[in-house]
Amino acid sequence: MEQQETIAMPRIGDDAPQFTAVTTQGTINFPSDYEGKWVILFSHPADFTPVCTSEFMTFAKMQDEFKELNTELVGLSVDGLYSHIAWLRTIKEKIEYKGMKDVEVTFPLIEDITMEVSKKYGMIQPGESNTKAVRAVFFVDPKGKIRTIIYYPLSLGRNFDELKRVVIALQTADALEVATPADWQPGDDLIVPPAGSCGTAKDRVDGKESGIKCYDWFFCTKPLAKDEVFKAIKK
């Protein structure tokens, strides 16, 4: 019986697996070429497919919004470079969707016909397909560490508002040493770290620590206006 190759999938907190790849914007060395920047590395199953087309148009439309957050986009599929180029030209010249048209994709799209990169990142999942990458999303920080991982099946298009929210929330947590609660959006209250001593916990519950609201000793929040969030993460 033939034994299947087993490759450990990267985890949150790991160094992003390194690779050199040919892309539609030239050769890249990942993640070293992006030192000092956040990166969203994402895969799609195949060129010339409708869900992927809608996603690439949306990513391209939002590219400047991500750049404002010091975040670069890098796409990948197991198709070849010429297929990528032809598909992206088709998107620009022929596709109009949700008011988007003449969309030019200028972020790199990796050629991965050998599936080398896809396998390093666990993008090939046999239960879904042996020949197509699932819709994986890796958020890599300026130090080359993986900070968030999201996987979607082939049939499910991604929520781009959520992808942007993740970047902002990660940067906010880093800049302010806080956590973000469920459904957090910039301008909502932030969660402060739990009390480190019984005395601090008591002071918080008794309302002696100013600027925060405590629901109990372990659950305290503080307000921060939306513009202050963006000031903090852009320092």
Residue ranges for the binding site? Answer: 135
**Element spanning 24, H or E:** none
Q: Could you tell me which of 106, 144, 133 has the C-alpha nearest to residue 14?
A: 144
Q: Which residues pair with 59 in a beta bridge?
A: none
Enumerate the known binding-site residues for substrate: 135
Handedness of CA 105, 107, 111, 112 (dihedral sign): negative
List of residues 6+ apart from 51 with CB closer than 8 A: 44, 45, 154, 155, 156, 157
Provide the H-helix boundaries in the chain: 50-68, 81-94, 116-120, 160-176, 198-205, 226-233
Is the CB of residue 148 less than 8 Å from the CB of residue 113? no
DSSP 153: -
Q: Is 214 a catalytic residue?
A: no
Residues with a catalytic annotation lie at 52
